Structure 1
Amino acid sequence: MQYSLQGAMTALITPFKNGKLDEVQYAKLIERQIKNNIDVVVPVGTTGESATLNHEEHRRCIEIAVDVCAKSNVKVLAGAGSNATHEAIDLAKFAQSHGAHAILSVTPYYNKPTQEGLFLHYQAIANSVEIPVLLYNVPGRTGCDLLPDTIFRLFDACQNIFGVKEATGSIDRCVDLLAHQPNLSVFSGEDAINYPILSNGGSGVISVTSNILPDQIAELTHLALKGDYHGAKAINDSLYEINKILFCESNPIPIKAAMYIAGLIDTLEYRLPLCAPTPANMKRIENTLKKYTIKGF
């Protein structure tokens, strides 16, 4: 089965105010993404601090994203992962019932399943819903690596598993995946290498940087998908400095700080154990932002 989910996608931050989800600001941030040509928004992934949201907040973020995007052609790829399969299934079913176009499901963290356990985990999730399922491999965060052979098994076994968000940081891994299964949709999960992944046949990017520069990430992605690799590389090169500074501390610490400095969020709040960047890094982020044109609301 072929799915049309591709292009420039934003791994949305989750804004807080006085310790609670700032629903009004969240909707405004999504509207800004729509205005700046992003194809898909991704609520409650790693960048959305999903690990520290309660279940009610997680569901509410999905609801808001679906409601805001309903007025546009922008799709919602809802974060719906967990280290417990039954919880991941519950989130997947919720996302489907509330109109999400697809789900993004991170590998189970902490419990270190085997490859067979990963296969059974994702098979159970995929079989519980009808909407498309995108695998999410980020071993640096989860301590768990979804290997190519397991991805190929899942792609063959589950009709609605259509691809993977590749966040190992390895170009070799992306080449391996597409060389052996060219129908697999591979999405860049690391902004610094968006262009190399797209030029290797990637279907799009799931970007942190596009929270603050959605127009430029959208243009880069759309140029590459049209075959204008020269133009796409030029944008990727110009974004190198901001892509790197946004990972000077654990994501999403720097991107939230950048958005606060740029006036895109009213308060700089995180959920512990995440906290504000060091004063030195805050200054580095501020100095880097001066080199870019950031569109407001």
Structure 2
Amino acid sequence: MSRSLYWVTLLGAVLGTAPVLAAGESTQERATARVELGRKLFFDPLLSSDRTVSCASCHKPETAFADDVAFSLGVGGAKGERNTPTLLNVGGRTSMFWDGRAETLEDQAIFPIENPVEMNLPVAEAIARLEANDEYKDRFAVAYEGKITPRTIGRALAAFQKTLQSFDTPFDSFNLGDDSAISESAKRGRLLFIGKAKCADCHSGTDFTSERFRNIGLFDGSKLSDRGRGNVTANPADDGQFKVPTLRNVAVTAPYMHNGMFQTLREVIAYYNEPDKIVPGQKGRDASIVPLQLTPGELEDLENFLVALTDRRYTTQATAQR
């Protein structure tokens, strides 16, 4: 399937008619109905106060369900406070948001709807709008026996988001035995990733994230500085800690960090190579963040490995952003 046809197919699915199932529909049919309901909700600006913003406004399919700006814009042009992360493989996460304030994907789904700088719609009003819409009434009847509640809205959105997966990268092919799938430079970068560059200390596992929270040195301790995990736990020891993100498709999800401060992947690598040079004297920085002394050639090899973590549907975007 061509890249353009892929997006047409994905977005076109939003416009389909509601499934009508018999009383004895199968479990699989009901599961499919829930995914399709969640898909429609995800792309529908009905869930924002002025009906202009949807989940997909910030989690854009063409940029790996992330955004291409430092801070996404909500209703009325309100600017968000943190960079929008990718939703690919989000079904495997153990906590949600940069600060982990939601424990499940189902719980997370309601936060953006009610957030004043995102969709700015009280959930009670969202339910009223859905109940007044015949198609949504039919879809909820099939998927959740007609119950339109914060819980079923969250479950439907989560059901769709759990289908957003990415495991078709050159590195995956290499990992399965195709030695020609990545370049020699990327192979050297892989060894750096798990060795000298220390990336795997945090970005581990098949999805390249430890699911932990780390202070990488972007917190200055001022009243205006984002406390991250500390906002949730109220523990000063957690100030400046943010969730370790996945590195899959990282080449197409710029800008980077919770505050979108780096515009390119090379800037991110340069920061980890010489953290004090770029952001000196940061409070509480994790002890593992130390100068790496990577050579220019090693920096390039490491970047090439990270680019090899790009799903093939995004190859064109990854090339354009370098």
TM above 0.5: no
TM, length-normalised to structure 2 = 0.27
